[in-house]
Amino acid sequence: MNDLRKTEAPVSTVTIDKNKFDSPTENIYEAISVVAKRANQINAEIKKELIEKLEEFATYTDSLEEIFENKEQIEVSKFYEKLPKPHAIAIQEWLEGKIYHRNTEK
């Protein structure tokens, strides 16, 4: 997976030039489809990574009343909350030409 700390994807909403966005495919719908598929991949990668990191801190108890605050676990969660959303990362990768795509119908 790409290093998420180095992504230049915006954390907030930004306007993107439509002509720049759809220029690799010359079809806005195809471009959106490619980016959406990549966003789903990124989301799955982030989710898998987060679950693996949080399992390192997991404590299993018999009582539901016992809640442990783990500072490391909280820091990991905060890091992932501050990341750009998967769709923003996918759009940034698309605009930088980092996503390979091909139209199988052509």
pLDDT digits (tens, 9 = 90+) for 86-103: 999 999 999 999 999 887
Q: What percent of the chain has pLDDT over 90?
A: 48
> Under DSSP, is residue 88 helix (H, G, I), strand (E, B) or coil?
helix
Structural domain boundaries of the chain?
Answer: 15-95
> ∠ at Cα 23 (22, 27), nearest 5°?
50
Rounded mean pLDDT, 72-96: 90
Global pTM value: 0.80
pLDDT band for 13, please (50, 70, 90 cuts). confident
pLDDT digits (tens, 9 = 90+) for 47-68: 999 888 888 876 665 555 555 6
Collect contacts of 92-95 with beta carbons under 8 A, ≥24 apart.
92/7, 92/8, 92/9, 92/10, 93/2, 93/38, 94/21, 94/24, 94/31, 94/34, 94/35, 94/38, 95/16, 95/20, 95/21
